[in-house]
Amino acid sequence: MMKPSDLIKLSTRMFRTRPARTWLTICGIGVGIAAVVVLVGLGFGLQNILLEQIVFGDALLSLNVMTPPSKVVVIDDARVDEFLKIDNVDDVSPMASFNSLITMKDLTGSIILQGCNPSYFKYAGIMPKDGELLTDGDTNSVIITTATLKLFDMDATKIMGQSVKFKVFLPIADSIKTEEVPLTKEYRIKGIVNDESTIAAYVLLSEFSSNFKIPYYEKARVKVSKNDFLNIVEGKVIEKGFLVTSLSKTVDQANKIFQGIQVMLALFGGIALIVSAIGMFNTMTVTLLERTKEIGIMRTIGGSPLNIKLMFLTESVLMGFLGGMVGILIGVGGGLTINVLLNFLATRMGGQPISLFSFPIVFLLFIAGFSAVMGFLTGLFPSNRAAKLNPLDAIRYS
């Protein structure tokens, strides 16, 4: 049996005897690997961009319960108590919502004014973009959305701390008419949440109840004790006639979609990888022909077919692995360079920096192992063929 040290010396000899061809083959494999790394890294990056907008923790353990448009059933205080009595429900945080007018200095516009408890923000996964969220003592404060900034044509630094007034259009029971109810005090803008689609503001729920009786709540967040009970609690709430959505299911669906996207991107990159593998197979086949006489000599002096096979397999695995390393360097380097350029352009144009490419360590380790396996598979046929050569015929080969 050939010593491991001798096996390594013979398998790496191609770096000394055929350095140009060897490194070109490795670089060819690297280009194919880099294509896979870049495309799948793009998939991971897009996935992270989406999931970064979602706050985990209690948000994943809450159900968003909504009053149906038909108003056949509505969420009121009695219903909130019913939800609290469901097994494995820790808390219920309702939110009331009304069409309103907002006035700041001499400017007035339409807005959706929403009243909720501080726990609602945590269960809904709402985080402040600027400033802070409401706490229990913030009876004189209000939170606005980023869309509201456009209503007043002001940026965050100018609008923070400004005082505003509200008039709420309260629906009259069994009528399409509304009653105008002004809130009795001014509110200071304490924070801004990221929502470009809805011109809205948040005050504490007590600010509504102290001025008028809330006919019903628009929605409620039902906090469940454990993820295992989400489906059970959801089923019980749906049985009562309410619409229910869950952030955890949205995250699961998004992950499944992006897994499919990553597979598709990997398949496109696999085309370049196949071309690289063909090039490596061709190199190993040419190497076999060039070293046929050498193989014959090794066999006549006692080298076994297994020694010959291991020598060729070690060489192909080494080339595949090095090709994977080169591909990872090219792919990661290219992706990070694009990220830096995009972030530079984004900040220059007043936007937010993003990471379009992401390269998890586990994925890179898989690519490194996969490249070695690809080298093994590519060298399997040439190594078997080399091991089966007749020593006398090999010596006579020229």
Judge whether 319 and 359 are in contact, CB under 8 Å: no
Output 187 or 106, whichever has higher pLDDT.
187
50 with 73, same domain: the answer is no
85 with 165, same domain: the answer is yes
pLDDT digits (tens, 9 = 90+) for 215-234: 899 999 999 888 778 888 98
pLDDT digits (tens, 9 = 90+) for 242-298: 998 877 666 667 677 777 877 887 777 777 777 777 877 777 777 766 666 666 777
Structural domain span for residue 85: 68-241
pLDDT at residue 142 in the model: 96
62 part of a folded domain: no
Distance CA 351, CA 232 (A): 42
Q: How many domains does the chain have?
A: 2
- Work out the pLDDT band at 3, boundaries 50, 70, 90: low
82 part of a folded domain: yes
- Work out the pLDDT band at 333, boundaries 50, 70, 90: very high
Judge whether 205 and 117 are in contact, CB under 8 Å: yes
pLDDT at residue 119 in the model: 93
pLDDT at residue 52 in the model: 63
What the block records as the tokens of 109 is 């516009």
pLDDT at residue 203 in the model: 96
Whole-prediction pTM value?
A: 0.59
pLDDT of 371 strictly over 80: yes
Distance CA 103, CA 111 (A): 10
Distance CA 396, CA 63 (A): 79
Domain boundary among 196, 213, 241: 241
pLDDT of 393 strictly over 70: no
Distance CA 373, CA 160 (A): 58
pLDDT of 95 strictly over 80: yes
pLDDT of 342 strictly over 80: yes
pLDDT at residue 145 in the model: 94
Judge whether 240 and 76 are in contact, CB under 8 Å: no
pLDDT at residue 91 in the model: 94
Mean residue pLDDT of the chain comes to 83
pLDDT at residue 137 in the model: 87
- Work out the pLDDT band at 54, boundaries 50, 70, 90: low
What the block records as the tokens of 356 is 């379009």
63 part of a folded domain: no
| Amino acid residing at 170 | L
59 part of a folded domain: no
